[in-house]
Chains A and B, each alone.
Chain A
Amino acid sequence: MGKLIKYEFRKSWMVKAIILAITAIFEVMFLVGAISGNDDVALSSAVFLTFITICSIFIIGVLSIFILHKDLNTKQSYMLFMTPNSTFKILGAKIIENFGSILLFSAMFLLIGIGDITLWVAKSKGVKDMFNIINAILGEFGEDYQLDFFNVAISSAEQIVSWVFTIMVGFFAVVLSASFLNGRKFNGFISFIVFLVVTYIIEKIFYCSTNMIFGTATGYSLEKTICSIVYYIVLTVVLYIVTASIMDRKLSV
């Protein structure tokens, strides 16, 4: 599977390299601004870095769905499906590469963010003081909100896992379009509707379940976040098995 992952990365590395280059430019601008005391440069760079963070995680996910679409609907599909690899391996490599990329980019942006905020807000006082300042602000919203390394990490993990699940739903819709709906009118539109419906149902089930178990579906709690992580991991695995099985039995490239 390692070789499949290698080639999956190769298909998307150009976009990732562009993201890294843009991030590096704005990070250098931020550092120059922060160190030289040029607030305008530092703040505008920070805004762009925040924007890049959100966009790049979104772009990496959407790009992987686009690559799968291309791999199933163009002649390049032969490159994957003429090799002696099962559909489970082929799809698994795509998910692992995508999850790994999102994880690495998220970790990178998180570290850049912590570093930059520390430099900007806490100056030489360190990360702990920074968290104290933010916690004091969050305290205004209620006692449930407490920002520390662990909570930041677990909340980030929840966001990553739920985003990977959304991408998995995208994979499912693309495979549906290329197999059961192949050659039929509006197959792209129908599969997009399937994507929206599946995502909505899964979110609704989670919302209702947490409401029932924890009494509320809103707000932050560690238990709820851990449940959310487990919920999305299980659903991602289930949807992966279903999608790979459809590819195995019904997909013609």
Chain B
Amino acid sequence: MLESIEVTKKFVGKVAVDGINMQLEPGHIYALLGPNGSGKTTWMKMAAGLIKPTFGEIRYNGEPIGIETRNDIAYMSTEPYFYDWMTVGDVGNYYQDFFKDFSMERYDYMIGQMTLEKKLKVKSLSSGMMAKLKVAATMARDVSVYMLDEPLNGIDLLARDSVMNMILQAAGENKILLISSHLVEELEAVVDKAIFIKEAHFAGIVDVEELRTVDGISLADKYRQVFAGIEVGGVQ
């Protein structure tokens, strides 16, 4: 279980995350939703151990986030982060060197599916190809928690399905999958829970199926309701 306890992050002149309390359970695919600058990325980076909270704590199975939890939590940033000198093959070698759970076989399969060649230089990749590479490197790890920040950014409509399929192959009973995206409609079909972050605060967590069957609204409608205050009708 991934637990966020009163987590706050302050930067100079700005509170990026303010007292977020929430729990993420294994066996679920979560969408992390909120407008730009709401604090989604900052929270994910804290859960990945890249940013230190100003107050509060994030725990994974009772353990504070730290060096050890990096073996259990895979994080994919929305920005490109590979070294300029790397090729697609080098990225795989790097992950294999540092992560015991990394499968080169799975990586090769995924880059093959995404039509990426190992000899391609990372800095020559288009934003779409870079997004695919990041997904392949992250999802070739076998961990308990996957956190993907805007994984579909820059990926064209046709390729989105194959990328999403790759991501979903990692889902399982003991896994937590957390996906942040602005493409609410795209996520609606694959996630079973949605977390809303509004102006640095936790603004609720909903069961997507329950939302449809009980409240009669879609996730996109709920998003509009939470963030724009627009009341919407039921789904026909």
Contacts and interface: CB of A to CB of B under 8 A. Distances in A.
Interface of A: 3, 6-7, 10-11, 14, 75-79, 81-86, 182-184, 249-253
Contacts of A82: 48-50, 70, 75
Contact of B83 (A79, A83, A249): A79
Contacts of B11: 183
Contact of B50 (A3, A78, A183, A184): A78
B85 A10 contact: yes
Contact of B98 (A85, A182, A249, A253): A85
Contact-residue bracket for chain B: 20 to 34
B80 interface: yes
A78 B77 contact: yes
Nearest to B84: A76
A138 B18 CA distance: 69
Contacts of A253: 50-51
A6 B97 CA distance: 10
Given A3-B97, A3-B98, A83 B52 contact: no
B79 A75 contact: yes
Contact of A184 (B12, B94, B98): B12
Interface string B31-70: 0000000000000010011111000000000000001101
Contacts of B52: 249-252
Contact of A81 (B49, B79, B82): B49
10 contacts: A3-B97, A11-B83, A78-B75, A79-B94, A83-B99, A84-B98, A84-B99, A86-B67, A183-B11, A253-B50
Contacts of B98: 3, 83-85
Contacts of A6: 97
A138 B152 CA distance: 71
A11 B84 CA distance: 10
A78 B73 CA distance: 13
A76 B81 contact: yes
Given A7-B94, A14-B85, A79-B94, 9 more contacts: A76-B83, A78-B75, A79-B81, A79-B82, A83-B99, A86-B67, A252-B45, A252-B50, A253-B51
B67 A84 contact: yes
B21 interface: no
A76 B82 CA distance: 6
A250 B75 CA distance: 20
A85 B94 CA distance: 14
Nearest to A179: B52
A249 B71 CA distance: 20
A225 B55 CA distance: 49
Contacts of B45: 252
Interface in B87-106: 94, 97-99
Nearest to A252: B51
Interface string B5-20: 0000001110000000
Nearest to A14: B85
| Cβ-closest 8 pairs across A and B | A183-B12, A252-B51, A83-B98, A78-B81, A75-B81, A84-B70, A75-B79, A3-B97
